[in-house]
């Protein structure tokens, strides 16, 4: 059993994402065929068109572009927040089919890690959870519940801190929404960290699509009202320089 950390990488993405978004948008208003449209669109025209789409909120062409990420080193608490974004596809490591008998990795929140006393309490809880899991597994197996039949019930004592691995696929429009909600200072620290890492990756691949991506205050007003962190200018500068 060990503390683990976040690891995000890009597995696949739609080829030439900016070209595809621009082409999809231009097709809506053009009488000519798709092959001719490809020839006519210059690099500068594509960029202008994407900017127009983004600024006007006409984002349906963004849905033709998707990105698939592998994510390791997040907690079950984080993954439960993540899968609330329903316009996405997920494949997650199963605690029913994957045994934790040899120990599970876990995520320690910074607020707990910064203090020795709270960290010791936390580590003790992780050890106890693993002990109870193994004891339950043994007893269930003795009673005739084998394999996943034992694991599916023994896992009920595993903590939210237990590490999970997940593959995520989102289209560009859903990613913009995801970044708007989860990059915000009001978001929980772990999913905010994940969202920022994902944003860094897609910005390198399709900068025109994600130039203003991030919390609402990056491209407009803060959407949190009275709950605003009050640091819009600082946050805007941070995300513009990602």
How do the domains of the chain map onto residue ranges? 7-91+164-240, 96-161
**The pLDDT of residue 30 is above 90:** no
Q: Is the distance from CB of 208 to CB of 125 less than 8 angstroms? A: no
pLDDT in tens, 78-134: 999 999 999 999 999 999 999 999 999 999 999 999 999 999 999 999 999 999 999
Q: Which residues, other chains included, contact 242 with Cβ-Cβ below 8 Å and sequence gap of 6+?
A: 196, 199, 200, 203, 214
List 10's β-bridge partners, or say none: 69
pLDDT in tens, 171-226: 999 999 999 999 999 999 999 999 999 999 999 999 999 999 999 999 888 989 89
Which CATH topology does 7-91+164-240 take?
Answer: Gyrase A; domain 2 (3.30.1360)
Alpha carbon distance 71, 11 (integer Å): 10
Exactly one of 182, 186, 192, 236 is catalytic; which is it? Answer: 182
Q: Is the distance from CB of 71 to CB of 194 less than 8 angstroms? A: yes
**Residue 31 pLDDT class (50, 70, 90 cuts):** low
Instruction: For residue 169, give the nearest of 83, 90, 82, 84 by alpha carbon.
Output: 90
182 is catalytic: yes
pTM (2 d.p.): 0.93
Tokens 């339950």 appear where? 136
Largest Cα–Cα separation, the chain: 72
Percent of the chain residues past pLDDT 70, beyond the cut: 95
């Amino acid at each position: 059993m060990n503390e683990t950390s976040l690891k995000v990488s890009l597995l696949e993405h739609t080829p030439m994402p900016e070209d595809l978004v621009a082409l999809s948008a231009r097709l809506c208003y053009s009488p000519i065929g798709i092959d001719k449209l490809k020839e006519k669109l210059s690099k500068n025209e594509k960029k202008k068109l994407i900017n127009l789409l983004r600024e006007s909120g006409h984002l349906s062409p963004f849905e033709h572009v998707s990105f698939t990420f592998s994510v390791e080193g997040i907690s079950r608490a984080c993954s439960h927040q993540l899968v609330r974004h329903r316009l996405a596809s997920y494949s997650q490591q199963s605690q029913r089919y994957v045994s934790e008998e040899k120990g599970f990795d876990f995520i320690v929140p910074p607020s707990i890690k910064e203090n020795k006393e709270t960290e010791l309490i936390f580590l003790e809880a992780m050890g106890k959870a693993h002990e109870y899991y193994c004891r339950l597994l043994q007893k269930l197996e003795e009673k005739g519940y084998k394999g996943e039949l034992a694991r599916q019930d023994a896992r009920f004592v595993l903590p939210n801190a237990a590490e999970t691995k997940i593959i995520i696929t989102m289209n560009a429009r859903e990613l913009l929404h995801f970044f708007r909600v989860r990059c915000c200072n009001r978001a929980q620290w772990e999913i905010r960290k994940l969202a920022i890492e994902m944003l860094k990756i897609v910005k390198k691949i399709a900068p025109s699509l994600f130039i203003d991506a991030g919390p609402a205050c990056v491209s407009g007003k803060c959407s949190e009202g009275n709950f605003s962190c009050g640091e819009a200018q600082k946050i805007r500068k941070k995300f513009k320089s990602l």
